[in-house]
Chains A and B, each alone.
Chain A
Amino acid sequence: LGDPQNLKCVTHNLHKMLCTWDISSRGRHGQTEFCYTTNDLTPQVCFKTKERRIEIPIPESSITVTIKTSGTALATKEFVIHQKDISFVPVTPRILSLMPDFPTSTLNMKWSDNGSVFPYGLDALWQIQILRKEAIEVVTQVAYYSKLTHEDIILSWNWTSDMPLECTSHYVKIRCYINATQFVGPKDWSDWSPAEVIPGKDTEPGGSGVFPLDPVVAVGSNLTFCCVHEEDQRITNMTYGSKSYKMMQLSSRSHAIRVLNASVSNSSGTNVVCRLENGLEGSVVFVGYAPDIPQNLSCETPNFLIIKCTWKPGRPSGLYGERRTKYSLFERTSGKNVSCEVSEVNKDHVCDFPVLPDQKTYDFILGVSNPIGQAQTSLLVDITQRVHPKTPEKLTVTGNNSTSIQLRWFINGTFAGIRLLCQIEVTSSHSERKLHNVSVPGRKSSAYTARLNALHPDTTYQFRVRCSAADRFWRWSDWSRAVEQTTAEA
């Protein structure tokens, strides 16, 4: 009668162990005397307790335990506990924080690894469970590894849900297993931590709507949309674009649909509509492409006042308005950044950057971004080697005799400091097209002149002019408008 039995010892920290036991019969029990001794003849250590549990140090190898119970019957029982009989169960972890990031449907969890109670270098394995539906349905279970370092380290972990966090409440639990290889006894998982919850909109009064609300996603994405409605509202159907989808019930106030491999939406987006008995809820999703890396970036100056950069944008993003792809031109040397006004619809992509005082070489980075992604390309350019003058204007004849003509034209731009090479095209009805090259010193927004000799008297000629940089040619300007002149009679 009243024999102590089922003595079990568990350690949570590899230093001490918690021993518990039962008393075989009901009856009235007074105090218990718990004595133990290790085998190296150290004196017996005894405790009196009314509990049936006691914490004592873990023995090197084994200990002999004597439990004497008093009360209606005196009973004494002896046990020998070997280290292999002691099981190691880590302390139940505690979640320090669970934070939602709704726009990205991401949960961030932080917890302490309680490393301070253990010696160095132990490998810890954590199991994290995400649950829904009143913490009953396990959505996923993830393994996370860490190393205990004899200090309490705050561990952090992110998880991105396949559905908006607003759709329904998400619960998180964690437990751990420590691989104490030197410990010979059985090792087990800790208990699960209490579940932490991020409430969904389906728990909020008036939280109805379709989620995610007005997202921008990449083509090919798999999407989950949910419709949160009032408890008494019956949901008729949910459509994505013009197609109706099979609904999954998340809770009494939340239904969801799953859209796979979303294709590019039209400019006003694809409507996700939730039809309820007495109304509509909806969201608009914009499905597009991340920007391509711009190709063929090229920069030149027409006038040494501005630098014009052009590029090929690659595949259209399919995004418009405030979601359109935006471009910016950053110049590393000066640190100057310019945002480019680029039309989504028409094809040429051009950006102007001011010529900076006393700077010839420009180290450009063209940055491109939209809500789905970003890209960039770079170009190092000496603008004195990239002169592409504007079309010469006001070409006029200023001198004329029977065999020669003087022409005058105007070019907008500041070309002081370089020489211009201009080419004059001469055509007439009875002679072949001739090209005359003339090199002139560049000037600031100025007129230029040239004289053509060896012309035929009384002959009607048409003249056009174009110019470029004389040293380090890059590109001709466009031809000026033609001017016609008849040489004087001989």
Chain B
Amino acid sequence: MAAADSPSAALRRRDLCSRGIRLAGKMRADVVDLLDAYVEQQGLDASASVAAMEGVPLAAVERWDEQTGTQRLQENLAAYRAFRALLAQMLEEQREQLGEAEEGLGRALAAVLLQVSAFAYHLEELLRLESRGVPGEEGDAPPPPPRLSLFEQKLRGLGVLRELAQWAVRSVRDLRQLAKPSPAPGAAPGLAESP
């Protein structure tokens, strides 16, 4: 069990958490806008149900309350690293398929990719603050996706953006949870706790 927070560490953590919350909030708004533009531009049905796709991290989590702070950060980090790779893939496919047409969508996609990268870096900061080693990226690199048909690519893009919007919501809740002052040892889990 790590020692209780020093005042400066607690202050730094709350600052990082609140900035992270703002980042996640902005990201979510942009992802929702991007999702609308994507659905329209790709000619998809906004209500289409998309099966869970390999490599797309699911925001839904069981027993969210019981997660330790470190678990929250590590799961968030793994997810946003995965989204970084998925969005980069979508951007590449966008250029391949559309070239210079629909540059607006390409720019919006690139902007969200930047935010996801920034948020991942922010999560690494938080993990470093808690002197938790930042997990290396090698293990996280998603396996190269199977060659999808164009329609499957469109559906995957839809699934990625929908899930990313959900993750942004979850991240705000996670960071709010982390921002709470650390409880005395033995009480409800906070950041210092780890299994």
Nearest-Cβ distance from residue B12 to partner chain A, whole angstroms: 45
Q: Is the CB of B155 within 8 A of A268?
A: no
CB neighbours of B95 from chain A (8 A): 321
Inter-chain contact A271/B43, CB cutoff 8 Å: yes
Interface size class of A (residues with CB under 8 A): 20 to 34
Residues of A within 8 A of B51 (CB): 279
- In whole angstroms, how far apart are the Cα atoms of A345 and B51 in the complex? 35
Query: Which one of A280-288, A350-358, A430-438, A441-449 is at the B interface?
Result: A280-288
Q: Which residue of chain A lies nearest to B50 when distances are taken between CB atoms in the complex? A: A280
Q: Is the CB of A268 within 8 A of B154?
A: yes
Interface-centre pick from B43, B48, B102 (highest chain A CB count, 10 A) = B43
Once A271-B151, A273-B151, A282-B151 are accepted as A-B contacts, the answer to whether A343 and B100 lie under 8 Å apart by CB is yes
Does the CB pair A267–B49 fall under 8 Å? no
Q: Tell me, in angstroms, the Cα distance from A135 to B103 when the chains sit together.
A: 50
Within the complex, the shortest CB–CB distance from A270 to chain B, in Å, comes to 6
Report Cα–Cα, A343/B152, bound state, in Å.
28
Interface size of B by CB at 8 A reads 24
Contact with B along A257-273 (1 / 0, CB 8 A): 00000000011111111
Judged by a CB distance under 8 angstroms, whether A232 is at the interface is no
Interface: A213 (CB within 8 A): yes
B43 touches A266 (CB 8 A): yes
User: What 0/1 readout, one digit per residue, does chain B (54-98) give for beta carbons within 8 Å of chain A?
Assistant: 000000000000000000000000000000000000000001111
User: Which of A270, A282, A320 touches B101 (beta carbons < 8 Å)?
Assistant: A320
B48 adjacent to A283 (CB under 8 Å): no
B156 shortest CB reach to chain A, Å: 12
The reply on A214 being an interface residue by CB < 8 A is yes
Q: Mark B95-139, 1 if CB is under 8 A from A, else 0.
A: 111111111000000000000000000000000000000000000
Contact yes or no, B100 A269, CB < 8 A: no
Residue of A nearest to B38 (CB): A268
Q: For the complex, give the distance between the alpha carbons of A248 and B30 in Å.
A: 43
Question: Judging by beta carbons under 8 Å apart, are B97 and A320 in contact?
Answer: yes
A284 near B151 with CB under 8 A, answer yes
The reply to whether A269 and B149 form a contact with Cβ atoms under 8 Å apart is no
Q: Are A267 and B98 in contact (CB under 8 A)?
A: yes
Q: Determine how close the nearest CB of chain B comes to the CB of A158; give it in whole angstroms.
A: 27
B150 neighbours in A (Cβ, 8 Å): 214, 269, 283-284
- Taking A271-B43, A280-B48, A283-B150 as contacts, is the C-beta distance between A345 and B155 under 8 angstroms? no
Given A269-B150, A279-B51, A241 and B99 contact (CB-CB distance below 8 Å): no
- Other A-B contacts than A213-B149, A280-B155, A344-B99, 15 sampled, CB-CB below 8 A, are A214-B151, A266-B41, A266-B43, A269-B97, A279-B51, A282-B151, A282-B155, A283-B149, A283-B151, A320-B98, A320-B102, A321-B95, A321-B101, A322-B99, A345-B103
The chain A residues found within 8 Å of chain B, CB to CB, are: 209-210, 213-214, 241-242, 266-273, 279-284, 320-322, 324, 343-345
Give B contacts to A, CB under 8 Å.
41-45, 48-51, 95-103, 149-152, 154-155
Q: Nearest 3 A-B pairs (CB), nearest first? A: A282-B151, A267-B101, A284-B150
